[in-house]
A and B are shown apart, each in its own frame.
Chain A
Amino acid sequence: MKALGGDVEKSAAQGADVFIQSLQNEGVEMIFGYPGGAVLPIYDALYKNPIPHILARHEQGAIHAAEGYARVSGKTGVVIATSGPGATNLVTGIADAMMDSLPLVVFTGQVASAVIGTDAFQEADIVGITQPITKHNYQVKDVNDLPRIIHEAFHIASTGRPGPVLVDIPKNVSNEIFTLSEVKQTEVDLPGYQPTTSPNFLQIQKVAQAIQKAKKPLILAGAGVLHAKASEDLVKFVEQSKIPITNTLLGLGTIKGDHPQFLGMAGMHGTYAANMAICECDLLINFGARFDDRLTGNLDHFAPNAHIVHIDIDPAEIGKNVPTDIPIVADAKEALQSLLNLGVVTDGFSEWTNHLNKLTEEFPLFYKQSEEGILPQQAIEMIHKHTGGNAIVTTDVGQHQMWAAQYYKFNNPDHWVTSGGLGTMGFGFPAAIGAQLAKPKETVVAITGDGGFQMTLQELSLLQESQIPVKVIILNNQCLGMVRQWQQTFYEERYSESLMPSQPDFVKLAEAYDIEGYKVSTVEEADQVFEKALKSNKPVLIDCRVKQIENVYPMVAPGKGLHEMLGVKE
């Protein structure tokens, strides 16, 4: 038998060697991780048989980076952490990946089988903890199961509706001798997991008929289109059918931001035209969006006159929030292609389209110009200007996220990496690192807030160490902007613990990590520094001081319908 570890004293492969070979068999090109006691055998095997490894400075940084990598590359992100605290530090990222359907395989070390359940040093029941926030999870009991489980994990994570899969490996399993003759990729045999990808043709025909009958149809495209790599097909269908289109937050980039049929994002901070289109349409065709409450607003007022078509790869999403007239369980690409094959030709719905175009013209996104300082919306527009809409943009959650979604007009799919479902502060910066590693030649901009950045800023270490040219732009308003906005609007300006007047000197901080840092406080300064920084091939941090009291508008207040928007017009 061939020794996989290359260690002369060992005649046989151990679990850890089998682990590495299994990852190689899956074509894993990089691992995001952090070592520790229970994964020492794995890291030792990695030392002997290297797969590129990105050493984050916190497990949360590692997993968000893996999410960014997965979102941008379309490949499965791989994470390793040790048992106990290493594993529990991953929980936020696992939940985030679950909510936004990102394919991850997460490996955690576990204490030795003999002491599991005894509250041993660095023991945590990570399988139990992550059951509600993973697509599936495993604990390996026998080293001979390791190749099969790893192969299944990658299969489950990346097929159907993608999601995170956790594999917990007790330390003794990593050390055990593998007794099978070879590490081979067997066929996946999961009778309980057979995702449907091809649409039912009769249902597709019904959609075509519904379009013919409709006077005011609307397409809503979500991240499912991106996961299915179907944005080209979507644009073809949009142009063929001449139906106007809106996006969910996570669906941005499925169609060019300046496409004439695109109404902008819909939902809580969507455009007036997009939300009114939902309120008024008589046919709503949803490709790969899950009718999240931030999109729908009050369900009683959501698309009240519309026939609803819902195309989703996850049958459980269909009818979950919004009753559906034509349900289709399918991969967005396959559904779009069968619709394209039917060749739906329409007269262009000119009355409807003109009406919506008029709404776009009359009620555009707007902000009040300010004499002094930088407005955050202006900052996003400047970033757009200097990157031509072609950068990969990552964000956390909050005001900066919504402004980026509103004012950065994306030209390309898979260039928008944001924490939508879970709304995770601290996501954007490490996700940018993963995105940059996936696409080294692209410009990657992490737009964060001063609050979120301080949750994972330790990953600055990585920029210098691995020469990752991420541009970090902190829209620094010295407060938790969205919290402050809600307190202003719904809590009578009682700014309870949302103001952060004391900030570190972010420029000095950057310098401490040997990274170029700039502070900008005026539009002119910002314009110059952005231009220089966004063309640079080095990491840069920009502390962009923006106006504190500035709100994201328009807005649908929680509990209200999409027709009740605040801040639409002066």
Chain B
Amino acid sequence: MKRVITTTVINQSGVLNRVTGLLMKRQFNIESITVGHTEQPGISKMTFVVHVEDQRKLEQLLKQLQKQIDVLKVNDITDKAIVTRELALIKVLSPPAVRSEITSIIEPFRATVIDMSKNVITVQVTGDPEKVEAFIDLVRPYGIKELTRTGATAFVRENQKTPSQQLSIL
């Protein structure tokens, strides 16, 4: 199962290595990792998306991460109301003949053209990873020359909905 895990860490050299090394040593399969500073100086936050087999493996992962001296907090936020964002940069082949067609795909995704040459445009798309995925699938037939993704970063929403048992009929 895919889990989104955030860790708050003390920003010391080697901390990313420590965390990824731990995941490698314990055979966890990482889909993506993003790291950056937080609002507090000296504190960074990592978001990683991992595949784990079952609840026990997940528990082990969280405990092992928590054991690291530089790790302050570990949260599995998968089942919470969360905001997840990813950025992708895509170079798409776009000879003049199809350019307007591509532009018409870009618009509904609120993607941005950030560079352009004779036969290639570079598009930036942000959103949750599924949206980014959908966009890439749409432009793939035109020919993707180069693609780079940041991996997901996430946190929990300020307002957590209390889960209701009843399903709306509407």
Contact = CB atoms under 8 A, between A and B. Distances in A.
The judgment on whether A and B are partners is: yes
B112 interface: no
Given A131-B18, A319-B56, A319-B60, A190 B69 contact: yes
Contact of B63 (A135, A193, A315): A315
Nearest to B72: A192
B25 A132 contact: yes
B38 to A, nearest CB: 14
Contacts of B63: 315-316
A127 interface: yes
A316 B21 contact: no
B14 A314 contact: no
Nearest to B22: A132
Interface residues of A, number: 18
B70 A192 contact: yes
Nearest to B63: A316
A320 interface: yes
A319 B69 CA distance: 21
Interface in B65-82: 66-72
A192 B68 contact: yes
Contacts of A314: 67
Contacts of B14: 127-128, 131, 139
A43 to B, nearest CB: 27
B100 interface: no
Nearest to B21: A131
Contact of B60 (A132, A139, A156, A320): A320
B29 interface: no
A315 B69 contact: no
Interface in B1-23: 9-10, 13-14, 17-18, 21-22
Contact of A192 (B56, B59, B64, B69): B69
Nearest to A316: B63
Interface residues of B, number: 21
A314 B63 CA distance: 9
Contacts of A191: 10, 72
Interface in A157-200: 190-193
Nearest to B68: A192
A320 B64 CA distance: 10
Interface string B26-54: 00000000000000000000000000000
Contacts of A128: 14, 17
Nearest to A320: B60
Interface string A120-156: 0000000110011001100100000000000000001
A192 B69 CA distance: 5
Contacts of A193: 69
Given A192-B72, A319-B59, A132 B21 contact: yes
Contacts of A132: 21-22, 25
Nearest to A127: B14
Contacts of A156: 69
A3 B13 CA distance: 32
A142 to B, nearest CB: 12
Nearest to A329: B63
Interface of A: 127-128, 131-132, 135-136, 139, 156, 190-193, 314-316, 319-320, 323
Given A132-B21, A314-B67, 15 more contacts: A127-B14, A128-B17, A131-B14, A131-B21, A135-B69, A136-B69, A139-B13, A156-B69, A190-B69, A191-B10, A192-B68, A192-B71, A316-B66, A319-B59, A323-B56
11 contacts: A131-B18, A136-B69, A139-B13, A190-B69, A192-B9, A193-B69, A314-B67, A315-B66, A316-B63, A316-B64, A319-B56
